[in-house]
Amino acid sequence: MACSDRRGGTTVAETGYEARVARLREQLAAVPDGAPVRLAKPTSNLFRPRSGSGSPGLDVSDFTHVLDVDVEARTADVEGMVTYEQLVDATLPHGLMPLVVPQLKTITLGGAVTGLGIESSSFRNGMPHESVLEMDLLTGSGEIVLARPDNEHSDLFFGFPNSYGTLGYALRLRIELEPVRPYVRLEHVRHSDPVQYFAALERACRDREADFVDGTVFGPDEMYLTLATFTAEAPETSDYTWLDIYYRSIRERTVDHLPVRDYLWRWDTDWFWCSRALGAQNRLVRLLAGPKLLRSDVYWKVVAFERRHQLLGRLQRAFGAAEHEMVVQDIEVPVSRAAEFLDLFRNEVPISPVWVCPVRQRDPDRRWPLYELDPHALYVNFGFWATVPLAPGQPDGSHNRLIERTVTELGGRKSLYSESFYDEDTFWQLYNGPAYDALKRRYDPAERLLDLYEKCVKAR
């Protein structure tokens, strides 16, 4: 069914949404003047520390509804705290999916739009914010505005991505969907030369050789390009939701088939490969845990507990182990500089495997001021998530700072979901300080929301 236009009549789902908005307004009115405004979120997919303010957050736990899936228009109306797992489960029965589905099930729609996202369809569909048609946004000034690309709040519509909740929060989003087929055929092509590898990746994206393109780098001469294509039938399908591990299959199989839902969540079962650090790739552990516990949100809770209590860190220090630095980052560099980045990375930062994902802006005529990429260029995202040893006397943050410098020198950008180490002048040069300041003055004049630098670098 088609969702009623928000300027006309309302559906039952919309009536429930309006009631939730009214309750949120009441909460906001109860926050003392001048007090910071935050969300009370039980979960997060961010990997940077946060000191917290001690003030209560706005309870948005009710904003978890898929309000409508319009099959004919190929759109969905979705509340901001809906996870991609919920959304996919609502759209797949209609033969549809979001244009970009980030890799982890509990990433929320609002989070992916304000904090960016990427996946193997990004070489043709860009990032999640590029398929948004309109948003209801709660601003720092306490207003709830409808932002579209062609209305009086178009500046906020285009400036919202990469603002990380410092300009406002998404309460409802209308997004585009695309059709799917029941299965996905995967082909894993091995390469041993980085220059040839990225040339093949660029060619696959340019010629649309597949519906999905990503890659995995295991070593200097072991790089795989995964080309995945929708298909109506599959001779047999693999299962990576329990005992078998997807990323290992890349080295073991040339061709594979998955149901479309399993393809979308192929990385979630083992949090890419990060589950190995938690012992979850042991077959006995997997057998006992079962599929319900082999999920990224479970691993995230384990990591969050360790970060709070430092039990493993204290044990390692007690036995004289070297100090380690957490290097959890996603960066983009132009495909023409990708081999350079990979060469420096593998020589300076001992992390393996590394995820590779191409991304190109979907509409070259649009401008997203807080995360500007060349709209005509193909970029390569590198994702790496591990701890690395520090040499005696080497300060914490050394590897991360090297990565930041290198990405800037190569004309790239770094996502802000994890720790950042930029000085303030450099940060605002990279993330368009003048455009951000103009948005901040209009939508959060009393500065009740944190500043982007304070939130992403100072970790306040």
- How is residue 390 annotated by DSSP? P
Question: Do residues 184 and 258 lie in contact, with contact meaning Cβ atoms separated by under 8 Å?
Answer: yes
Whether pLDDT at 409 is above 70? yes
Q: Out of 3.30.465.10, 1.10.8.80, 3.40.225.10, 3.40.50.720, which CATH number does the structure's domain 12-180 have?
A: 3.30.465.10
Whether pLDDT at 35 is above 80? no
Q: Report residue 212 CA to chain centroid gap.
A: 17
Collapsing DSSP to helix, strand or coil, 456 comes out as helix
Among 234, 190, 236, 192, which Cα is nearest to 215's? 190
Whether pLDDT at 3 is above 90? no
Question: Do residues 235 and 257 lie in contact, with contact meaning Cβ atoms separated by under 8 Å?
Answer: yes
Q: Per-residue pLDDT averaged across 268-294, rounded?
A: 95
> 275, exposed or middle or buried, with CB in 10 Å at 0-12, 13-18, 19+?
buried
Give kind and range of the element (H or E) at residue 379: strand 379-389
Give the lowest-confidence range in 5-14, 77-86, 224-233, 388-397. 5-14
In whole angstroms, how far apart are CA 325 and each of 33, 211, 298?
A: 40, 37, 23
Collapsing DSSP to helix, strand or coil, 204 comes out as helix
Q: Report residue 93 CA to chain centroid gap.
A: 24
CATH of domain 183-414: 3.40.462
pLDDT in tens, 100-117: 999 999 999 999 999 999
Whether pLDDT at 315 is above 60? no
Q: What per-residue confidence (pLDDT) applies to 36?
A: 74
The total of other beta-carbon atoms located within 10 Å of residue 269's CB is: 25
Whether pLDDT at 340 is above 50? yes
Whether pLDDT at 55 is above 80? no
Q: Per-residue pLDDT averaged across 427-439, rounded?
A: 98
Q: What's the mean pLDDT when you consider all of the chain? A: 91
Question: Cα separation of 37 and 450, whole Å?
Answer: 8
Contacts of 1 (CB under 8 A, 6+ apart): 68, 70
Give kind and range of the element (H or E) at residue 23: helix 12-30
Question: Cα separation of 111 and 77, whole Å?
Answer: 16
At 120, the amino acid letter reads S
Question: Do residues 171 and 24 lie in contact, with contact meaning Cβ atoms separated by under 8 Å?
Answer: yes
Domain borders along the chain are: 12-180, 183-414
Determine phi and psi for 402, rounding to 5 degrees: -60, -45
pLDDT in tens, 162-211: 999 999 999 999 999 999 999 999 999 999 999 999 999 999 999 999 99
For residue 68, the cross-strand partners are: 77
